[in-house]
Structure 1
Amino acid sequence: FLIFNKYHIPRENILNKNADVTPEGKYVTPFKNPKDRHGAALGALSVGRVNITGICENYGTKALTIAIRYAAVRKQFGPDGQEEVPILEYQSHQHRLLPYLAGAYVIRFFSMFLIEKTYQFTIDSLLGQNKELLPDLGMEIHVVSSACKPVAGWFFRDAIQECREACGGHGYLKAAGIGDIRNDHDANCTYEGENHVLIQQTSNWLIKQWSLIESGKKIATPMRSADFLSSSSQILKNKFTANNLEEMCNPKTIVDAYQWLVCYLLKATKNKLDTLLRKDGDEFWAKNNSQVFYAKSLGIAFIQHFFLQHMLGVIEEAPDVNIRNVLLRLFSLYGLFSLEKFLATLYEGGYSQGPKATYLIHEGILTLCSDIKDDAVALIDAVAPPDFILNSVLGASDGQVYKNLQSAIFRNPYSMSRPSWWQDIVTWNANIKNKL
């Protein structure tokens, strides 16, 4: 570690990208507005969180590679008198893994987009280019990364655990590799900002945007993550209108539901905050006591909508119709899988009435899982790391699960002999004497 105690730093060594101190001791900055300077600084501090989003996806993809390849090979049970079937054929197994596969693709594309935006921001900052855009872009990168890092961390934490369990007892083996992936990923939920604390940065910014909307101003951000909020009054009047599975899985249906959800949660969070402020006037406790069910849910819904919004752009640019169709199914599966967790809010706010929304979302998830099932191995192969990086006997690209497992056991130098401590187990009670 390193400690500075009353240590003088020469002026020439000061980090002075956004501000400086002259030899006469005068503070100077190219940003006249302190908020602009703050926004530019926040963008630079966001690089770590942006990169962690991609790291989360990499760990999740490794675990999914192992679990999906294993599920395509591992056979268990089957109809009477017939051969056993691969466990990937079972609906419950598809539901355990394939929504996470869809999410891995959605977050992978988003992470690449955000990394590109962040690096361009860094280059422009260093070269002094696009100075008028930097403050707003820096602030938006801060807001977006403060939500996507927690949501990606939580999503792939759950995905990795599900992959471990989906491989049964084999998944718990050291040679399977999932335990190491789980341990390596775990820190992503804490460093560069503990997730529950970090996501408050996003909801705080959104609440400020709501105040601007109430005063009649339009929201326009460089990455367009929150531009739809300008139409919040109309969005909040919308209702659930899907009548069948085709309409339910349509991207517009899912995006419309998410836009309503974000607007509703934003309004509800602002109202909750105002109520608490009127009650005791303490802003610190008012913010902290409006997190659960309000601000935290708002931050999650906001970034999930942005994930989907960007994924739509990726789909539109896909060069091949077959690729576009597969990406659409992944989009819809991730969208419905995520939206299903907000069903109570959709009913609470009056967006949905009756059982139709619940039924169609559930049926949509199961239908999409079945549709994606036959492409699952090809989809994971397209993003899987090489075998020497995967380092798993269950997930090798050759599909020889049992052969690789046997080989790993036989290669262990101690597998053919007694352990050195065998006598401690067999004769542990030999020297115990009866005290009677």
Structure 2
Amino acid sequence: MIKKIMLIGLFTGLAHILSFYGVSFVVKMDADKFFVSKIAEIESGIAIMLAVMSFGLQQVATRDIAINSDWTKILFITQQNRFSMGLFLSVLGLFLYLLTKDSYYLIFLLAPLLALNVDYALYGRGHSVQASFLSLIKVGVPAVILVILGYIGLFELNIYIISIVVSWGIISYFSNKILKAFLLIRPKLNFFKAYLKNIKIGFTDFALTVLKLGILTLAKPFYDETTIANAFVVLKLYVLIKGVQRVIFQAFYKDLVNPKKAFMIDKIGLLIGFLFFSVTLFYPTEITNFLFSKDYLSSKKLLTLVGIATLISSISISISPRMLLIRKDKEYINSYLFALVGTLSFLVIISKTNMFFYGIIGAILFGEFILNLLFFYHLKNVVFTKQRFLFLLELAGLFTIFSINFCFFNSPLSMFLSAVCCLFYGLYFLFQHKKQIL
């Protein structure tokens, strides 16, 4: 079991790091913001397509595939619906392209290919290591291509798109082969009925996507390419940090039923979110120069905003699944629906003001605030405890030390001193929880 968890963590972690590094590298190699914005649109478009094709269907199917002996039939029906939706999205994309002449909508022609991937069924059947490795291929191939393009100074979008097609083709083929499933399935006309049965869960899936990279697709009609490019590079870092938290969360998922261990998971997640927030608050210029380039110095305030969003969403990383475990499904779904409405409203309204530069990241911050406020309200007896308050006091003490270092020393020295403090606190944390972690 430990070996399995470590492999999943390794593959998932590498996938997030490669995905971020590919974009970071081309930015440091002076790729223009038009190229970066197009990568953003492609990644966001893929995320939106996957959310629409899953739309509640995939969550239910993964559960049913895991617990039923006749799981191949469930997989076949699910894939029929997903592939049919993929064909519908490709036709819709072609129609929008002919209507607007915007080549962005051609990315929706990839929807049928994306639908062929059955990695969700791999998780359901216990092949989580294979699924995580295929996910590494999925993001690793395009990321490596970006690094190569950046190295040779050839920022050719078509090559990047081909790498995406190749990577999705590989994982679609092998995910089906592992399960001995049918790669190609005949579509059906009444596929919408299956989606309507799980429409509330579907909106939850969609909200989860919008609160990450998916928001860029919805922002496209309201924001220019420069604003999207600036928001994209910051969101890639945000997704990386959330990915690290998710790896930890998945490693201890089975322990969520134990309140003490669930709190330990929350403490690790909050510590990660707090450290990221502190770095983006005190050293946004240094982080921007190190990870991106001077052309993105205007994004340093966006880094701070996304740091705040990370901190808010990190207060309890276990709260979302725990709501489902204690059967607060209605509250869970409604929280995401309100967050989705709030995010989209903020996105549109701010685009019409002179604060539009902060609109995309601000919308995610606003959405996370609404989501977690509602989560905390529904589980206030779980979140607001004496133990959590004491842990927050520890972090407040650490934050005070960071502030003193920042105010009284130059940046390199204050970063070094703060890093030393983090090291000692990390050792203290490990010693305090060694029985639960090891």
The TM tier, using the shorter chain, reads under 0.3
More helix by share: 2
TM (norm. structure 2) is 0.25
TM (norm. structure 1) is 0.25
Q: Which has the higher contact order (CA 8 A, sep 6+)?
A: 1
